[in-house]
Every structure is written in C-alpha cells, then in structure tokens.
Amino acid sequence: MKKIISAIILIVFASCSELFLGEDVKSTPRQNFEQLWTILDQKYSFFEYKNIDWNDVHERYSSKITNNMSDVELFNVLFSMLSELKDAHVNLVSPFNVSRYDAVFYKGPENYDSRLVLDKYLRSNFFVTGPLKHTTIGYGRIGYVRYESFSSTISSSDIDFVINKYKDLKGIIIDVRSNGGGYVSNVFTLCKALADKRRHVYTSYIKTGPEHEDFSEPNYVYIDPASKSPFDKPIIILTNRSCYSATSFFVLAMKAFPNVLTVGDTTGGGLGAPTGAELPNGWSFRFSCSRTLSPEGRNFEDGIPPDKVRYLKEDDVNKGFDTIIEYAVYKIINWGR
Amino acid sequence: MMKFIISLFLIVFQLISIQAQDVIPEKKKKSNHFLEIGLGLNYHAIRDNGTSPLMYKGYLPAIHIQYFWTSEKFIGLLDEAFSIGYLKTRNFSSTDNNKAVSYNNELSFTALYKIRNFSKNTFYLGWEFGTMSNLRVNEKFNNANLNYDFVAYLAPTAMLEHNISWHSGNEVVSLKKRERNLKFQYILSIPVISSVLRPGYVTISDFVDINTLPIKLENIKITSFNHYFLMKNKFIVYYVLHNNNMLKLSYGFNYFSLYRNYNPVKGMYSTFMASIVFRFTNN
C-alpha cells in the first residue's frame, strides 16, 4: 500500500512539473547545434575584436548537421565550429571528448625547460611555501620564485614569508612561465602583497545584452597593498606563450607597478572571463563573456607582450643556462643603470 | 502599470485594515500561541535558461518551523522553511555530473484578519511579507556555477477555514464522550510587489574583480507580476489532540516565473509536510 501511494505521489509530481514548466527541448543534433550557436551569438564577447562573422559560421556548419548523425560526428562538427573563435577559453565537454583550442600556446617556442630550472636554479634544497618553490640565485643576491599554477591556492602568509625572506636582496624573479592560469583570487593575493600603493590595474567589461557589443559600463579594478612595508626592490616576471587566463591577469596587473619588468615571450592572453552553459543533450560548454583592457585601454586578449623579449637559446640550455633567467638576473643586478 | 498595481495594493490593504478595525472589539482579545515543527519532502523542479534549457528536478528533504498566534479575529504566522538536495536533469547518469545542489529557504510573516463567518467556514483576508531564496550550485557551469533567485515580496493573502467536530465513542458503552476536531485550511498568496535578485546577463559571478561581491546587490530590481509571478497555495489539515496540541498535515504548491535579463527562470515546489503543533497557552 505504501509503495502504491509513493508511486502515485511521484507520478503526480513528475507530470505536474511538465505541465507548469513545459517539456524539455528535444535533443536532436539540429537543436543542439542551434542552441550552441545562439548562446554564443548572444553572449560571447570577442566577435568584433576578432572580426568573426558568426552568421557566416552558422551557414558553413549548419549544412553539416544531419538528424541521423552520431554523437561523435556531431561533436566533431561543433568542435570545428568552436575552433573558429580561436579562444582557449572555449571548450565543449562531452562524456567522450573535450574540444579545445591550444594553438594560442604554440604561437612561439616553449621558452621554458622545467628540468633545467629544477637542476640548475632551484636545485635540491629549495623552499616549498604553499604552492611557491623558491630559492636564491645569482650568488645569493636574488630571490627566485616559481609559481606553476594559479589553480594552487596561495595564502597571504605564503607570499609574506617569501617577501620577508628576500627583502634584503637586490630583487626577486617571479617565474610564471607555462602557468596556464586558475583562480583570479590568487592573482589578488599575490599582487596585494607586492603592491606599493593603490593602483588601477585593469578595466573589465561584461556582456549585458545579446548584441555583439552590448557590454557593461567599465569596471575599474584596483589593487590595494596588503602590507604597510611593501616590497620595493625590482621584480622581474618571466612569461611565455603558455601563460594564460589568470596568469595573464597577473602579468597585466603587475605591469601597473613601477618596480616591475616582464621578460620572455608574449603571454597566451585569455583575458575574457569564461562562463558556462549546457546543451539539450547535457554536454556543457564554456566561453568568454567579458573583456579586459589595460589601464591605458589596450585589449591584450591575444597576449601581453613582455617589456623585454628574450627566448631560450639552445646553446645556453646545452651549457646549463636558462637564457631568460640569466637575463633577468643581469637586469636586477644592473637595475637603474 | 507599476503605479496602478501599487495603488491597487494600497487600496486593498487599506480596506482590509478598516475591516479588521471594525471587527476587533475595543477590549483586546486573549490570544493563543503555537509552535509547529514539521518534516517533509519537497519536490522541486526548475528551468533556469541562464545556464540550461533543461529542467532540473529532485526530491529534497524539508524542514518547517512555524510560530503562530490566534485571537478571535486575527491570525499571525511566522514561517521558516528550508530544503536542500540534488536536482538532476533527464541526462543524469552516475558517471556524469548533471546535477546541482539546491538550497531553498522561505521566511515569511503573514497577518490574517477574520472577515466573515458562514456556517462552519471562516474567511480571512490579509497580507504576507516574505522572502524566497533559491540557490543552486552546479560545478559543470564553470564560473557560472552559482545560480540563484532571491525574492522579497508583499502579497495579499486569503484563507478559507473549515471546522469539523464530532464526538468519539459509543454513547451507550462510553462513560466519557470525547470531542474530536478537524480543521481544514486553504491559503493563497499572490505577490503584487517583489524585489528580485538574479545573476547578470551572462550569469557569471564577476570574478575578474575579487574586490566586488560575487552576488551583486545593484542587480536588485523592484518588479510586479508582469515580470515576476509567484503563486503560493497551501492545503492544511489540523487534528486537535486532547491536550490541545495538534497534528498537522500540509501540502504546499508554489509556482514562480521570472523574466529578466533575457534569462527566464521558472520553477515549482510541491511540499508534503507532517508536523506537530505545540500549544503554549490554554485560555
């Protein structure tokens, strides 16, 4: 009897929700394609900046959609369509594959050799403070800090310890090469600890309507110093093409400070904040929905160029030197000359 | 439109107040106070087009606490209801992550004035001020994983009460007949003025500026049923125990729809609740 009553209640409830909220849209390949195209059309933030004709994209890919195509075939068409956006913040996630656009990371040489850094610079006795690996280099005159991922949470005590340890040296090198990003909260923790005074670091605009250029009023983003005695020595940040998303935010924010120099290669960019949504078949996807400009109004979505361009030279690597770190050491030793 | 609705509401509110003043005698009536604690199950379904065209639904354990007091002409109710659980889509599978954690909270105060008695029925009219908060966390939506609709509303409310009494036991064999009482109530509320807080157009919490709150208070909008429609129904049965405490069974049905920022959201709750009602005073 109890089972019957439970079954009746479940059936009544379930049918009730369809009655009031309407039935779910059908999950045909066509429906999934149109849903993906439309949401991006209304909410993606870089059509104008990248000069993408999204209607033309619809025309070209719509003809490839058939109602009897398999999930894998549909995924491949959608993967190709999303690649037109040339954005590593655009991904489609299905149970069997994830679409991506990695070309932003391969526009130049890697310019980072993790084994070389470990063997010749960090060596075996480096400190590990939270997600930060650090030691002194340049005959003990310079602090070297390696931060591999902004997905690893950094606490203010972590960075305070590092700053305090190297405050009497000539400067520090923060190596974020091949750091693919993560949480922007870590960017703020790091920047606040290094900030000398309140500075406008970038301006963000978020999509607010379906037209391609419907953006919010500017949101001026500031960094306030966390410490009363900030680190005022030279800071050099090492970058490469694989610095993406939160790492680009970090580099952009730090460029607002006068004692900061960036060295290496242009970052991968990724200054549009990604948001997420879902298709009728349950596949999720993410895409950029904001844009970020430097305080001067420049859009570095495709990458932030370094102040000093330096590439890793094969000869140097063979001799056990990291060309970019060696240049940073040289710049700090000769800072102001 | 908005001005008309507000004016209409004020007129209705004024009429109710005048009516209540007429029926409440000068000497203040003694009141009875009650505390209700209930447990139940909430069937929740929602379609939030901000992130998905799919309906998310599920059965959520619910708890309900109510404090209310009654006098001859007035009923005041202070309600708190909370439910939490998973909502899933039709695509849910144990290997996929198509589910959201849903937190739902309702807090309200209702004032009801006796308007009319006819036979065993009593008709009340009044108003309800309440908040309804629905928060959904779904990790698959990346930076849009936090989705919500927070509403504060003012609603005209009507209640119809029906009382049934009978005597238990066989008159011949029972020395002491006991009076049994059942009370049925139907309550309907439809807000006319609401303030609504929803995520922005792209749903994302503005993560590029950690200095700002993830939930932006400037997104609060005052609206009415042209943009936000909420209908709250409740069917209640009280069984009065011999010690004047009560057992209560209730079924509530709420439906809401909100159209703002191109991201419409529609949802419904059906809640079964079983409660014990403790009477504090015995006048």
Q: What is the pLDDT of residues A194-212, one digit of tens each?
A: 998 999 999 999 999 999 9
> How close B14 gets to chain A, by Cα (Å)?
34
> How close B255 gets to chain A, by Cα (Å)?
8
Q: Which residue of A has its CA nearest to B145?
A: A276
What pLDDT digit, counting tens, does each position of B196-241 carry?
Answer: 988 888 888 656 666 665 666 777 888 887 788 999 999 999 999 8
CA distance A229 to A216: 36
Cβ contact, residue pair B270, A13, below 8 Å: yes
Report the residue from A210, A222, A273 with minimal CB separation from B262: A210
- With contacts defined as CB-CB under 8 Å, which chain B residues touch A94? none
Give me the residues paired with residue A203 across strands.
A220, A293
Tell me the HSE value of A302 on the side-chain side, using a 13 A CA sphere.
Answer: 9
Cβ contact, residue pair A21, B268, below 8 Å: yes
> How close A113 gets to chain B, by Cα (Å)?
30
Cβ contact, residue pair A13, B43, below 8 Å: yes
Query: Concatenated DSSP letters for B199-227?
Result: --TT----TT-TTS-SS-GGG-EEE-TTT
What pLDDT digit, counting tens, does each position of B128-140 carry?
Answer: 999 999 999 998 8
Task: Indicate the pLDDT class of residue A10, thresholds 50, 70 and 90.
Answer: low
Mutation target among B88, B208, B260, B268 for the A interface, most CBs of A within 10 A: B208
Cβ contact, residue pair A20, B203, below 8 Å: no
Closest CA to A113 of A333, A335, A336, A312: A312
Long-range CB pairs of A78-83, under 8 A, 24+ apart, other chains included: A78/A32, A78/A33, A78/A36, A81/A36, A81/A37, A81/A57, A82/A36, A82/A285
- With contacts defined as CB-CB under 8 Å, which chain B residues touch A209? 201, 262
> How close B114 gets to chain A, by Cα (Å)?
32
Q: Is the pLDDT of residue B247 over 60?
A: yes
Mutation target among B89, B209, B263 for the A interface, most CBs of A within 10 A: B209
- With contacts defined as CB-CB under 8 Å, which chain B residues touch A22? 47, 266
Secondary structure element (H or E) that encloses residue B258, with its range:
strand B246-258
Cβ contact, residue pair A209, B262, below 8 Å: yes
pLDDT at res. A12: 57
> How close A124 gets to chain B, by Cα (Å)?
36
- With contacts defined as CB-CB under 8 Å, which chain A residues touch B100? none
Phi, psi of A33 (to 5 degrees): -60, -50
- With contacts defined as CB-CB under 8 Å, which chain A residues touch B267? 21
8-state DSSP, A207: B
Average pLDDT rounded to a whole number, residues B97-122: 91
Q: What angle do CA A45, A50, A51 make, to 5 degrees?
A: 110
Enumerate residues 6+ apart whose C-beta is below 8 A from B192. Answer: B5, B6, B8, B9, B154, B155, B156, B224, B225
CA distance A200 to A222: 4
Give me the residues paired with residue B180 across strands.
B166
CA distance B262 to A270: 26
Structure tokens that stand for B118 in this block: 């006819």
Cβ contact, residue pair A275, B143, below 8 Å: yes
pLDDT at res. A15: 55
Q: Is the pLDDT of residue A154 over 70?
A: yes
CA distance A174 to A176: 6
Cβ contact, residue pair A282, B43, below 8 Å: no
Question: A24 CB near a chain B CB, below 8 Å?
Answer: yes
Task: Indicate the pLDDT class of residue B180, thresholds 50, 70 and 90.
Answer: confident
What domains can you pick out in chain B, each with its CATH number?
2-167+181-279 (2.40.128.100)
> How close B44 gets to chain A, by Cα (Å)?
8
Question: A21 CB near a chain B CB, below 8 Å?
Answer: yes
Tell whether domain A106-273+290-333 is in CATH 3.90.226.10.
yes
CA distance B41 to A293: 49
pLDDT at res. B136: 93
ipTM: 0.83
CA distance B198 to B196: 7
3-state secondary structure of A51: coil
Task: Indicate the pLDDT class of residue B96, thresholds 50, 70 and 90.
Answer: low
Rounded CA Rg of chain A: 24
Cβ contact, residue pair A276, B143, below 8 Å: yes
CA dihedral A123, A124, A127, A132 (to 10 degrees): 60
Q: Is the pLDDT of residue A14 over 50?
A: yes
Q: Which residue of A has its CA nearest to B50?
A: A277
Enumerate residues 6+ apart whose C-beta is below 8 A from A140. Answer: A169
- With contacts defined as CB-CB under 8 Å, which chain A residues touch B98? 282
pLDDT at res. B93: 72
Report the residue from B46, B51, B201 with minimal CB separation from A278: B51
- 29-68 of A, contacting B, C-beta below 8 A: 35, 42-43
- With contacts defined as CB-CB under 8 Å, which chain B residues touch A6? none
Q: Is the pLDDT of residue A312 over 90?
A: yes
What pLDDT digit, counting tens, does each position of A252-296 carry?
Answer: 999 999 999 999 999 999 999 999 999 999 999 999 999 999 999
Secondary structure element (H or E) that encloses residue B12, with its range:
helix B2-23
Q: Is the pLDDT of residue B84 over 90?
A: yes
Closest CA to A30 of A60, A73, A74: A74
Task: Indicate the pLDDT class of residue B94, thresholds 50, 70 and 90.
Answer: low
pLDDT at res. A292: 95
Report the residue from A95, A209, A219 with minimal CB separation from B95: A95
Secondary structure element (H or E) that encloses residue A52, with its range:
none
Question: A274 CB near a chain B CB, below 8 Å?
Answer: yes
- With contacts defined as CB-CB under 8 Å, which chain A residues touch B210? 184-185, 187-188
CA distance A183 to A150: 6
pTM: 0.86
Question: A218 CB near a chain B CB, below 8 Å?
Answer: no
